[in-house]
Amino acid sequence: MATASVWAAATITLLTVTGCAPTETGPRQPRRCFAARDVRNFTAVNSSTVNIRVGRDVYRVDVMGACPDINWTNRMALVTTGNSLICVGSGLGTSIVTRGSSGRPQRCPVTSITALTPEQIQALPGRHRP
């Protein structure tokens, strides 16, 4: 009799735990945070917006004001202070660094980072897809 109640309790626990397990019901959501070293490609949309690719995910990065040389650069870096992860949101403590026209590094503070959905990525013109 004690064995039956142990099995019943185990079965109820198993059903409860599996009932709370996350399931994939919709499209895959992009990661909320990523490391700068995981960025694989970028495309400047204009002088204040860059789209970056991290694995299969695409993020829109907006900078404060204009970052004039970002449209013409072949290289850029995302630099963060404090935490080594860059997260979706305000972009606080994150900057895009490019080589300015003078050859000196140009820092452009990030004001927001937005994860794009698969539908938003599909809607991007080809020249804006990283």
pLDDT tens digits for range 93-123 = 999 998 877 778 889 999 999 999 999 999 9
Structure-model confidence comparison of residues 4 and 36, the more confident one: 36
pLDDT over 90 at 16, yes or no:
no
Q: Is residue 129 packed enough to be buried (19+ CB in 10 Å), middle (13-18) or exposed (0-12)?
A: middle
* Alpha carbons within 13 A on the beta-carbon side of 61: 33
pLDDT over 70 at 41, yes or no:
yes
In a domain, 5, yes or no: no
In a domain, 50, yes or no: yes
Give me the pLDDT at residue 31, please.
64
Number of domains in the chain: 1
* H-type alpha helices, the chain: 2-20, 118-123
In a domain, 64, yes or no: yes
In a domain, 13, yes or no: no
Quote the domain boundaries for residue 104.
Answer: 33-128
Task: Tell me if 15 sits within 8 A of 21, measured CB to CB.
Answer: no
In a domain, 10, yes or no: no
In a domain, 12, yes or no: no
At residue 126, φ and ψ (nearest 5 deg) are: -50, -40
What is the model's pTM?
Answer: 0.73
In a domain, 75, yes or no: yes
In a domain, 61, yes or no: yes
Give me the pLDDT at residue 10, please.
37
